[in-house]
A and B are shown apart, each in its own frame.
Chain A
Amino acid sequence: MVDPRLNIISERLAKIRKIIAVSSGKGGVGKSMIASTLALALVRRGYKVGLLDLDFSCPSTHVILNIEGLFPKEEKGIIPPEAHGLRYMSIVYYARDEPSPLRGVDISNAIIELFAITQWDSLDFLVIDMPPGIGDATLDMIRFVKGISFLIVTTPSKVAFETVRKLTRLLKDLKVPILGVVENMKMRDSPFIREQVEMLGVPFLGEINFDYRLEDSMGDVQKLLETKFAQGVQEIASKKL
């Protein structure tokens, strides 16, 4: 027996110019904030952008972007609805606010299903908010999303960076393109992360200072784009992407 879904995925992604997985070895480093803000920043620059929340257990980009009352249209597959100028896809359309306790094999199956049936059409960028770690979602992206590149997020913490080191090594070993590492939530001057990233032989994309006012912009896209955090993301996007 053959699972026919795997063969159609490359066709579904064929009209997307660049696919960026925003990833980290650890949770709580700001992946979803960076993925959401990056997607919005690219829209503001006139690009056609999709945002896919691949954190099936704990999706959060819909909270950041205040996405409510939308549902994909069914037409030869499913068409992600548009929100804030970007095409948005998340498991929350189907799970609503209920917890989705999924094991590895189920996560993998759900990912394959979504990639097989979602009709993104043509996009300049598809930004993927990855779940933390180097588990099923990361392995599946490497396995069937050809041409994907990873944008890795860390905090200044040695603990966070240690997990990023492992993710980076995995991607390098498998020859998966890495756009670079962003140091998020920086609170004091320290060259530690920059030096460590350079030692790993991957680009250091920049640092984003801890923004005490960021939480106040949750769910308010206009306010979010006016934060210093968003300025930091936009700077990285305009210089490095």
Chain B
Amino acid sequence: MHEWALAEAVVSTTLKTAEEKGLKEIIELKIKIGELQQIDQEILEFALSQLRSPLLRNAKFSFETVKAELKCRVCDHKWKFSTKNLDEDVSEFIHFVPEIAHTYLKCPKCGSPDFEILTGRGVWLDSIKGVK
């Protein structure tokens, strides 16, 4: 239930934004989930539903999965992250701390661990819609 901690972060950020913008009710939350972190959307949704505060009572949660794209800093090769052929433990380590990818993944072209995570790292709050 590592997703629970991230759900708490989403709710906490939403409530802070609502306060700053004077929103009385949240209507919709758009959440982007990066593939690299391998978040279980069902667990995240469950955690969010359990964490509903009065302000989020009627909020609709929508999710978008973002493909994880990596780019080698040495040879500029770009590739998509895949859990295929990935050791189960390693997959779990990346789930907890996505940057651990640099420990175990290498550029498929030149073998360098010096790559950039272009897209699809973790959980992002894309937009918050509410009424004043």
- What is A's interface to B at a CB cutoff of 8 Å? 1-8, 11, 56, 74-78, 91, 93-95, 98-103, 106-107, 109-110, 113-114, 116-117, 119
With A4-B10, A4-B125, A117-B6 known, 10 other A-B pairs at CB within 8 A are: A4-B13, A5-B122, A7-B12, A7-B13, A74-B1, A74-B2, A95-B93, A102-B102, A106-B99, A113-B97
* A100 x B12 contact (CB < 8 A): no
Docked pose: A101 CA to B122 CA in angstroms: 20
Interface residues of B in 112-130 (CB under 8 A from A): 113-114, 117, 121-126
B131 at the interface (CB under 8 A from A): no
* A110 x B97 contact (CB < 8 A): yes
Q: Which of A77, A94, A110 has the most CB of B within 10 A?
A: A94
B45 at the interface (CB under 8 A from A): no
A98 to B, closest residue via Cβ: B103
CB distance from A153 to the nearest CB of B (A): 27
B15 to A, closest residue via Cβ: A7
Known: A8-B5, A11-B12, A117-B5. Contact between A2 and B125, CB under 8 A? yes
B86 at the interface (CB under 8 A from A): no
Docked pose: A6 CA to B125 CA in angstroms: 12
Docked pose: A5 CA to B11 CA in angstroms: 10
* B96 x A117 contact (CB < 8 A): yes
Known: A2-B13, A109-B121. Contact between A116 and B5, CB under 8 A? yes
* B124 x A3 contact (CB < 8 A): yes
Docked pose: A5 CA to B97 CA in angstroms: 13
B4 at the interface (CB under 8 A from A): yes
A-B contact pairs, 14 of them (CB 8 A): A1-B32, A2-B124, A3-B125, A5-B9, A5-B123, A7-B9, A11-B8, A78-B5, A99-B103, A101-B102, A101-B114, A109-B98, A110-B97, A110-B98
